[in-house]
Chain A
Amino acid sequence: EDQVTQSPEALRLQEGESSSLNCSYTVSGLRGLFWYRQDPGKGPEFLFTLYSAGEEKEKERLKATLTKKESFLHITAPKPEDSATYLCAVQGTGNQFYFGTGTSLTVIP
Protein backbone atom coordinates (compact mmCIF):
# COMPACT_ATOMS: atom_id res chain seq x y z
CA GLU A 1 0.00 0.00 0.00
CA ASP A 2 1.24 3.49 -0.87
CA GLN A 3 2.27 5.38 2.25
CA VAL A 4 3.97 8.61 3.31
CA THR A 5 5.57 9.32 6.71
CA GLN A 6 6.89 12.73 7.68
CA SER A 7 9.25 13.61 10.51
CA PRO A 8 9.55 15.36 12.79
CA GLU A 9 5.92 16.21 13.58
CA ALA A 10 6.99 19.62 14.87
CA LEU A 11 10.18 21.64 14.63
CA ARG A 12 11.17 24.88 16.33
CA LEU A 13 14.13 26.79 14.91
CA GLN A 14 15.83 30.02 15.71
CA GLU A 15 15.90 32.48 12.85
CA GLY A 16 18.93 31.59 10.72
CA GLU A 17 19.21 28.02 12.07
CA SER A 18 19.19 25.67 9.09
CA SER A 19 17.54 22.23 9.25
CA SER A 20 15.86 19.50 7.21
CA LEU A 21 12.44 17.90 7.12
CA ASN A 22 12.08 14.26 6.14
CA CYS A 23 9.49 12.47 4.01
CA SER A 24 9.74 8.68 3.76
CA TYR A 25 7.55 6.94 1.24
CA THR A 26 6.56 3.56 -0.10
CA VAL A 27 4.82 3.60 -3.45
CA SER A 28 4.34 1.27 -6.38
CA GLY A 29 5.98 3.13 -9.23
CA LEU A 30 6.61 6.74 -8.28
CA ARG A 31 5.06 9.19 -10.72
CA GLY A 32 5.82 12.23 -8.59
CA LEU A 33 6.68 13.44 -5.08
CA PHE A 34 5.24 16.79 -4.07
CA TRP A 35 5.99 19.32 -1.35
CA TYR A 36 3.37 21.83 -0.19
CA ARG A 37 3.25 24.58 2.37
CA GLN A 38 0.08 25.10 4.39
CA ASP A 39 -0.67 28.16 6.50
CA PRO A 40 -3.33 27.95 9.24
CA GLY A 41 -6.85 28.04 7.84
CA LYS A 42 -5.71 27.94 4.22
CA GLY A 43 -5.36 25.41 1.43
CA PRO A 44 -1.97 23.83 0.70
CA GLU A 45 0.28 25.83 -1.60
CA PHE A 46 2.49 24.01 -4.08
CA LEU A 47 6.27 24.21 -3.62
CA PHE A 48 8.02 21.46 -5.62
CA THR A 49 7.53 18.34 -7.71
CA LEU A 50 10.31 15.72 -7.92
CA TYR A 51 10.07 12.85 -10.37
CA SER A 52 13.18 10.68 -10.02
CA ALA A 53 15.92 9.80 -7.53
CA GLY A 54 18.76 12.30 -7.56
CA GLU A 55 16.58 15.20 -8.60
CA GLU A 56 16.83 18.48 -6.67
CA LYS A 57 14.74 21.67 -6.81
CA GLU A 58 15.35 25.02 -5.12
CA LYS A 59 13.26 28.05 -4.32
CA GLU A 60 14.57 30.86 -2.16
CA ARG A 61 15.59 29.30 1.20
CA LEU A 62 14.09 25.88 0.36
CA LYS A 63 15.72 22.95 -1.40
CA ALA A 64 14.04 19.60 -2.01
CA THR A 65 15.92 16.38 -2.76
CA LEU A 66 14.77 12.88 -3.63
CA THR A 67 16.13 9.36 -3.16
CA LYS A 68 14.41 6.05 -3.89
CA LYS A 69 12.95 5.90 -0.38
CA GLU A 70 12.78 9.45 0.97
CA SER A 71 12.78 13.13 0.26
CA PHE A 72 14.25 15.98 2.26
CA LEU A 73 13.18 19.59 2.42
CA HIS A 74 16.21 21.61 3.46
CA ILE A 75 15.58 25.05 4.92
CA THR A 76 18.59 27.36 4.89
CA ALA A 77 18.71 30.35 7.24
CA PRO A 78 14.95 30.33 7.87
CA LYS A 79 12.95 33.46 8.64
CA PRO A 80 9.81 33.78 10.78
CA GLU A 81 7.69 33.98 7.60
CA ASP A 82 8.76 30.40 6.80
CA SER A 83 6.67 29.22 9.76
CA ALA A 84 3.98 26.89 8.39
CA THR A 85 3.10 23.23 8.06
CA TYR A 86 4.99 21.48 5.28
CA LEU A 87 3.23 18.57 3.58
CA CYS A 88 4.69 15.81 1.44
CA ALA A 89 2.62 13.76 -1.03
CA VAL A 90 3.23 11.01 -3.58
CA GLN A 91 1.45 9.71 -6.62
CA GLY A 92 2.10 6.14 -7.69
CA THR A 93 1.08 4.20 -10.76
CA GLY A 94 -2.56 4.72 -9.82
CA ASN A 95 -4.14 8.11 -10.00
CA GLN A 96 -4.45 8.72 -6.27
CA PHE A 97 -2.38 11.09 -4.18
CA TYR A 98 -1.18 10.12 -0.70
CA PHE A 99 -0.24 12.76 1.83
CA GLY A 100 1.83 12.64 4.99
CA THR A 101 0.57 14.27 8.18
CA GLY A 102 3.01 17.14 7.84
CA THR A 103 5.76 18.88 9.80
CA SER A 104 4.76 22.01 11.70
CA LEU A 105 7.66 24.47 11.51
CA THR A 106 8.01 27.44 13.84
CA VAL A 107 10.83 29.91 13.27
CA ILE A 108 11.52 32.11 16.28
CA PRO A 109 12.90 35.63 15.70
Chain B
Amino acid sequence: EAQVTQNPRYLITVTGKKLTVTCSQNMNHEYMSWYRQDPGLGLRQIYYSMNVEVTDKGDVPEGYKVSRKEKRNFPLILESPSPNQTSLYFCASSFGSVAQYFGPGTRLTVL
Protein backbone atom coordinates (compact mmCIF):
# COMPACT_ATOMS: atom_id res chain seq x y z
CA GLU B 1 0.00 0.00 0.00
CA ALA B 2 1.32 3.43 -1.01
CA GLN B 3 1.76 5.50 2.11
CA VAL B 4 3.62 8.11 4.11
CA THR B 5 4.32 7.11 7.70
CA GLN B 6 5.28 9.35 10.60
CA ASN B 7 6.46 8.51 14.08
CA PRO B 8 5.62 9.22 16.78
CA ARG B 9 1.97 10.18 16.29
CA TYR B 10 1.82 11.97 19.63
CA LEU B 11 4.63 13.48 21.65
CA ILE B 12 4.75 15.54 24.82
CA THR B 13 8.17 16.90 25.73
CA VAL B 14 9.84 19.69 27.66
CA THR B 15 11.61 22.81 26.51
CA GLY B 16 15.13 22.18 25.28
CA LYS B 17 14.99 18.39 24.97
CA LYS B 18 16.10 17.42 21.47
CA LEU B 19 13.66 15.33 19.47
CA THR B 20 13.29 13.76 16.03
CA VAL B 21 10.10 13.03 14.13
CA THR B 22 10.60 10.41 11.45
CA CYS B 23 8.95 10.36 8.03
CA SER B 24 9.12 7.56 5.48
CA GLN B 25 7.44 7.02 2.09
CA ASN B 26 7.29 3.90 -0.07
CA MET B 27 6.36 5.53 -3.41
CA ASN B 28 9.86 6.44 -4.64
CA HIS B 29 8.92 10.13 -4.61
CA GLU B 30 11.68 12.68 -5.14
CA TYR B 31 9.92 15.56 -3.37
CA MET B 32 9.36 15.44 0.40
CA SER B 33 8.23 18.17 2.73
CA TRP B 34 7.37 19.06 6.31
CA TYR B 35 4.45 21.29 7.32
CA ARG B 36 3.06 22.57 10.56
CA GLN B 37 -0.64 23.26 10.96
CA ASP B 38 -1.91 25.81 13.48
CA PRO B 39 -5.45 27.12 13.99
CA GLY B 40 -6.09 30.21 11.87
CA LEU B 41 -2.72 29.91 10.10
CA GLY B 42 -3.30 26.84 7.99
CA LEU B 43 -0.54 24.59 6.69
CA ARG B 44 2.85 26.26 6.51
CA GLN B 45 5.86 24.67 4.88
CA ILE B 46 8.89 24.23 7.14
CA TYR B 47 11.44 22.54 4.87
CA TYR B 48 11.32 20.63 1.63
CA SER B 49 13.65 18.37 -0.31
CA MET B 50 13.79 17.95 -4.07
CA ASN B 51 15.93 14.80 -3.81
CA VAL B 52 18.61 13.08 -1.77
CA GLU B 53 21.05 15.56 -0.18
CA VAL B 54 19.00 18.54 -1.49
CA THR B 55 17.00 20.50 1.09
CA ASP B 56 15.56 24.02 1.16
CA LYS B 57 13.85 26.29 3.65
CA GLY B 58 10.14 26.86 3.48
CA ASP B 59 8.24 29.69 5.12
CA VAL B 60 8.90 28.82 8.78
CA PRO B 61 12.28 27.02 9.11
CA GLU B 62 13.52 28.66 12.34
CA GLY B 63 14.15 26.12 15.10
CA TYR B 64 14.02 23.09 12.80
CA LYS B 65 16.54 20.96 10.94
CA VAL B 66 16.11 18.27 8.31
CA SER B 67 18.28 15.80 6.44
CA ARG B 68 17.73 13.65 3.35
CA LYS B 69 20.29 10.87 3.27
CA GLU B 70 17.98 8.33 1.66
CA LYS B 71 15.21 8.89 -0.85
CA ARG B 72 12.50 7.34 1.33
CA ASN B 73 13.28 9.09 4.63
CA PHE B 74 13.05 12.75 5.65
CA PRO B 75 13.36 13.25 9.44
CA LEU B 76 12.47 16.52 11.17
CA ILE B 77 14.77 17.50 14.03
CA LEU B 78 14.04 19.99 16.79
CA GLU B 79 17.40 20.64 18.48
CA SER B 80 15.98 22.73 21.33
CA PRO B 81 12.18 22.71 21.23
CA SER B 82 10.25 25.66 22.61
CA PRO B 83 6.53 26.02 23.49
CA ASN B 84 5.85 27.97 20.28
CA GLN B 85 6.68 24.79 18.36
CA THR B 86 3.65 23.08 19.84
CA SER B 87 1.70 22.17 16.73
CA LEU B 88 0.38 19.46 14.43
CA TYR B 89 3.09 18.37 12.00
CA PHE B 90 2.61 16.69 8.63
CA CYS B 91 5.09 15.08 6.29
CA ALA B 92 4.23 14.85 2.59
CA SER B 93 5.76 13.44 -0.59
CA SER B 94 5.15 13.74 -4.33
CA PHE B 95 6.57 13.51 -7.84
CA GLY B 96 7.28 17.19 -8.46
CA SER B 97 4.25 19.40 -9.16
CA VAL B 98 1.58 16.79 -8.72
CA ALA B 99 -0.50 15.60 -5.81
CA GLN B 100 1.22 15.45 -2.47
CA TYR B 101 0.54 12.44 -0.28
CA PHE B 102 0.34 13.36 3.38
CA GLY B 103 1.20 11.35 6.45
CA PRO B 104 -1.21 10.94 9.38
CA GLY B 105 0.33 13.76 11.41
CA THR B 106 2.33 14.13 14.61
CA ARG B 107 0.81 16.14 17.43
CA LEU B 108 3.63 17.74 19.39
CA THR B 109 3.27 19.50 22.73
CA VAL B 110 6.28 21.32 24.20
CA LEU B 111 5.89 22.23 27.88
Contact = CB atoms under 8 A, between A and B. Distances in A.
Interface of A: 31-32, 34, 36, 41-46, 49, 87, 89, 91, 95-102
A46 B103 CA distance: 12
Counting chain B residues whose Cβ lies within 8 A of the other chain, the interface size class is 20 to 34
B74 interface: no
Judged by DSSP, the binding face of A is strand
Contacts of B45: 96-98
A16 B32 CA distance: 38
A96 B43 contact: no
Interface string B85-100: 0000010100001111
A87 B43 contact: yes
Nearest to A43: B102
Interface string B18-37: 00000000000001010100
